């Protein structure tokens, strides 16, 4: 079954849930601006959580190729968008993924597709970093994977503590990156530096 087929959903239940949610605010669901909002919101939510319906084998699509290169490969500034599993508010940012090949390499676009597959779920950034790293390790059989993610979280910015300039950096290190300080430092030195929030 392809990813497209898996995304064919019946929006009836989620549309009704959005109708009830909007109605609970005291809004008038009959007014022109809101008449189609429940179905639009249901479709948007399905898109934002489509990672649950994706299959890793189809995402990678056989794009693992033989290579004699054993040096760092870094794919940086992969933008991602996700939903916080605690408040279902967005968080977004960039991922930097590095790995040390061990006889084979992964097609470059697949890093972005793997990031998206896990980001398009209800998440916390710390787990997201680890899921991406472990998946790339499993798919490539590489000697080590390092992932750094920088993100802004709407649950900190729009509500609660209300810190609009805060950002979060998470890391995940597997294989040689866990124990080899030289390899780890090479990766961290190559990753773009965080820009000041203000």
- Which neighbouring-strand residues pair with 92? 81, 152
Q: Which of 53, 54, 84, 123 is catalytic?
A: 84
Phi-psi category of 80—alpha, beta or left, where left has phi over 0 and alpha has psi -120 to 50?
Answer: beta
Q: Which of 54, 125, 142, 176 is catalytic?
A: 125
Bridge-based pairing state of the strands 64-66 and 104-106: antiparallel
Q: Is 155 a catalytic residue?
A: yes
Q: Is 86 a catalytic residue?
A: yes
Q: Is 165 a catalytic residue?
A: no
Q: Which of 58, 92, 104, 155 is catalytic?
A: 155
Q: Which of 54, 131, 142, 153 is catalytic?
A: 153
Residue 64, classed as helix, strand or coil, is strand
Q: Which of 87, 104, 130, 134 is catalytic?
A: 87
Non-local (6+) Cβ contacts of 48 within 8 A are 81, 83, 120
Q: Is 47 a catalytic residue?
A: no
Q: Which of 35, 85, 126, 165 is catalytic?
A: 85
Q: Which of 47, 86, 165, 179 is catalytic?
A: 86
Q: Is 142 a catalytic residue?
A: no
Catalytic residue numbers read 84-87, 125, 153, 155
């Amino acid at each position: 079954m392809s990813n497209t087929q898996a995304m064919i959903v019946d929006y009836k239940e989620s549309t009704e849930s959005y109708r009830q949610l909007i109605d609970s605010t005291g809004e008038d669901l009959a007014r022109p601006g809101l008449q189609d909002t429940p179905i639009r919101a249901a479709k948007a939510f399905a898109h934002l959580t489509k990672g649950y319906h994706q299959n890793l084998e189809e995402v990678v699509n056989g794009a693992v190729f033989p290579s004699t290169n054993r040096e760092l490969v870094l794919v940086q500034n992969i933008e991602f968008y996700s939903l916080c599993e605690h408040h279902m508010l967005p968080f977004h940012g960039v991922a930097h993924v590095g790995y040390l090949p061990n006889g084979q390499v992964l097609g470059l676009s697949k890093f972005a597709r793997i990031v998206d597959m896990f980001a398009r779920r209800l998440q916390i950034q710390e787990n997201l970093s680890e899921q991406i790293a472990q998946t790339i390790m499993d798919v490539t059989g590489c000697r080590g994977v390092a992932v750094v993610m920088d993100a802004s979280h709407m649950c900190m910015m729009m509500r609660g503590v209300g810190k609009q300039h805060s950002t979060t950096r998470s890391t995940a290190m597997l294989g040689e990156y866990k124990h080899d300080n030289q390899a780890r430092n090479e990766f961290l030195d190559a990753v773009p530096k965080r820009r000041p929030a203000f």
